[in-house]
Amino acid sequence: MTPTAVTNARNGRTMHLPFGEKRDGPLFNQHILSVKQFSRQDLELIFGVANEMRMMVERVGSFDLLKGKVLAVLFYEPSTRTSSSFIAAIQRLGGSIIPINEVKYSSVAKGESLPDTIRTLEAYADVIVLRHPETGAAALAAQYARKPIINAGDGIGEHPTQALLDLFTILEERGKIDGATVTMLGDLKYGRTVHSLARLLSLYNIKLNYVSPPILQMPRELLDELNARGIPQREANALEEVLGETDVLYVTRVQKERFANLDEYESVKNSYVIAPETLARAKPDLVLMHPLPRVGEISEAVDRDPRAAYFRQVEYGMYVRMALLAMVLGKA
Ligand code: NCD
């Protein structure tokens, strides 16, 4: 069979596909670097596919949609959920992985650059998931890559796939995203999850509240960006000021690894603890979320409350990542 050249309308890149196969869709052959690249229509599509993935997993566990495809998982920072959910996602779709979770055992430890590491891995894999401590690392990798790069967290920059699964969680738990008052609590300065989530939520009709220690406030550029989009935002000094009106409470960990001065970290690390008494003053249909890991911000006694959605959020993450892989590889 003669291969067919297919050009992606969005990025102009051409791929040679086996005759007869035709692939399109907004994510096909695309990098996923920032939530800024998504429209509301893209999100609806992703969540629709994620729902199909959920039904298939519930029915058959795994299936061969991505049989033969290889995912490289390149993590320069620790991870439990993001790396293992991507691994579970490709494996449930019949594909396989090149795991580089411990870069200290790879040639990175010998001083190999990110571009060289990427150019090597893309010779073996069809798509690369990258986590890196520097903001902009995924965008840099994408400049050198012919294969799609998925940003799994770039320093204090963005964590787009987490924001997608966070939105999917809100949708699944509440039935809709529009109309929600979302309160973000904790480390809003260094937390990449809240940076991506606030931007992605701004595609909807929502209100945002921010509660943090003064030294960990949401970056001014982000506030300005959302202001320009007409999003109502409020910076509160205490959770009590906004808890009563909150539909979604998104709690985050103080990002110890980002502090230059550990005394500063010590001064803010125990600023907030969500306890059963906190939830007693919250809406009965509150959705309590956390990207995890938690290190004391939510007491374990809260886990029994049906409003605690963070472990369901973990599960939704796998369906969303299955959807992303299938769409990037042109199979959904
Ligand atoms: C987050 C991260 O890595 O940014 N974790 C995750 O991916 N679920 C949040 C954190 O580390 O606090």
Residue type, 196: S
Mean pLDDT along residues 122-138: 97
Identify the residue with better confidence: 102 or 280: 280
Which residue's CA is minimally distant from atom 12 of ligand 1? 253
Q: Over the stretch 282-330, which tens digit does the pLDDT of each residue have?
A: 999 999 999 999 999 999 999 999 999 999 999 999 999 999 999 999 9
Residue 189, pLDDT above cutoff 50: yes
pLDDT computed for residue 102 by the predictor: 77
Going by C-beta distance under 8 Å and a sequence separation of 6 or more, which residues neighbour residue 216? 186, 187, 188, 189, 190, 254, 268
Q: Which one of 35, 82, 84 would you pick to mutate in the ligand 1 pocket, going by the greatest count of ligand atoms within 8 A of its CB?
A: 82
* Residue 267: strand pairing partners: none
Alpha-carbon gap, residue 251 to 265, rounded angstroms: 17
Q: What is the pTM of this model?
A: 0.92
Q: Which CATH class is domain 21-158+316-328?
A: alpha beta
Of ligand 1's atoms, which has the minimum distance to the CA of residue 193? 4
Residue 124, pLDDT above cutoff 70: yes
Domain definitions of the chain by residue range: 21-158+316-328, 160-314
Residue 109, pLDDT above cutoff 80: no
Helices (H), 61-159: 81-92, 114-124, 137-144
Alpha-carbon gap, residue 65 to 62, rounded angstroms: 9
Tokens 């055992």, located at residue: 105
Judge: domain 160-314, CATH 1.20.120.1200: no
Looking at every residue in the chain, the average pLDDT score rounds to: 93
- For ligand 1, residues with CB inside 6 Å are 81-82, 153, 159, 162, 192-193, 253, 291-292
| 21-158+316-328 matches 160-314 in fold | yes
pLDDT computed for residue 18 by the predictor: 41
Q: Over the stretch 215-254, which tens digit does the pLDDT of each residue have?
A: 999 999 999 999 999 999 999 989 999 999 999 999 999 9
pLDDT computed for residue 233 by the predictor: 98
